Amino acid sequence: MIPVTKTFLPPQEEYQAILKRAWDAGWITNRGGLVKELEEKLKSYLRVSNILATTNGTLPLQIAIKALELKGEIITTPFSYVATTSSIVWEGCKPVFVDIHPDYLTIDETKIEAAITEKTSAILATHVFGNPCNVEAIERIAKKYDLKVIYDAAHCFGVTYKGKSIFEYGDISTCSFHATKIFHTGEGGALFTKHKELFHKLFYHHNFGHKGQEDFHGLGINAKMSELQAAMGLSVFPYLDEIMAGRRKAVQIYNKLLEHPDLKKIKIRSGTQWNYSYYPLIFKDEKQLLEIRDELNKAGFYPRRYFYPILNKLNYLENKEMILAESISECTLCLPLFFELEEKIVKRICLIINNML
């Protein structure tokens, strides 16, 4: 069976050797030495101002909304993972959806202003499949209307835009270090902001609000990464270049062999150093997608529909039609893509798709 993605697991003895340091110290949570070491390595590797490691990739979204003290309406995209929208609702705000760009699949910046009302407090946009939003346009709109900007950058580890880490854009960016991601800590995530005072606020929000053992800065929850997670991250870290190279090779083969008028591929925004995080194909219609998916499944290949179902149809929200996002959601299939994916397997997948087309 070939899944849509596969967790990269470093040699077990390397993980255990790092983990032993936590055992020897008798310190496995509450920001021990491994978490701090991981943060410093990632800060340097990603070239970011500040990073705060967390226990998963959803809490950063919730903490970002809380730290920016957002109320009322938050403009967002329906084409994302459910955590983007559920975090808005969880924090007592209302998601207001804006349709997506047909090529980049990110929020359509030309439609944002029409969605702004006196209740709008922020824009929460997703960089889709590692492809950046139009951050310049979003920044202009945010300044014009005095709005905060959060980027869900769950798919964006290692992505740069115009020579700068994608995590440096917006008021706050978030990332996921889930086991299926390019870089992972089993479960995990991170918060990023270039603003020093805001980073301080994010820090105490993620640690119960603590100010030492006997005082509090303010409100907080528990989003701390454990030493067990950090050990996994530290053992994955040395393999990042190999992981990226393996994914790049598979993407290059897909790009070369999958050329057909019925197929549309994501357009990577100019100025982007992409990270090969996913390989989405947009088919002519849902019927064609399902037929090809079923044929791939018969052969032992298991692509996945991203993002489906579309978020504006969540049963706890009012359903507002998003014509383009709904159409693309129905027709998009992500092909298997991971570090160990063999060239012969990629070619076999392409052969099945081309034969079906």
Q: Quick: pLDDT tens for 215-262.
A: 788 889 999 999 999 999 999 999 999 999 999 999 999 999 999 999
Confidence of residue 214 (pLDDT cuts 50, 70, 90): confident
Parts of the chain belonging to CATH 3.40.640.10: 2-238
Counting DSSP H helices and E strands in the chain, the numbers are 11, 15
Considering the chain, tell me which residue range(s) the CATH 3.90.1150.10 domain(s) occupy: 239-356
pLDDT digits (tens, 9 = 90+) for 75-99: 999 999 999 999 999 999 999 999 9
Q: What's at 308, amino acid-wise?
A: Y
Q: What is the predicted pLDDT for the residue at 211? A: 82
CA angle 113-119-122, nearest 5°? 60
pLDDT interval class at 213 (50, 70, 90): confident
**What's the pLDDT at 212?**
77
Percent of the chain at pLDDT exceeding 90: 96
Question: Does CATH place domain 2-238 in 3.40.640.10?
Answer: yes
For domain 239-356, give the fold: Aspartate Aminotransferase, domain 1 (3.90.1150)
Cα gap 68→183, rounded to integer Å: 27
Residue 239: partners with Cβ closer than 8 Å, 6 or more residues away: 8, 10
Q: How many CB atoms lie within 10 A of CB 238?
A: 11
As a 3-state breakdown, the chain gives helix, strand, coil percent values, each rounded to 5, of 40, 15, 40
Structure confidence at residue 222 (pLDDT): 97
Say how far apart CA 321 and CA 131 lie, in whole Å. Answer: 24
Does pTM top 0.85 for this prediction? yes
Cα–Cα distance, 40 to 260 (Å, whole number)? 45
Rounded Cα gap, residues 344 and 351, in angstroms? 10
| Residues across the chain | 357
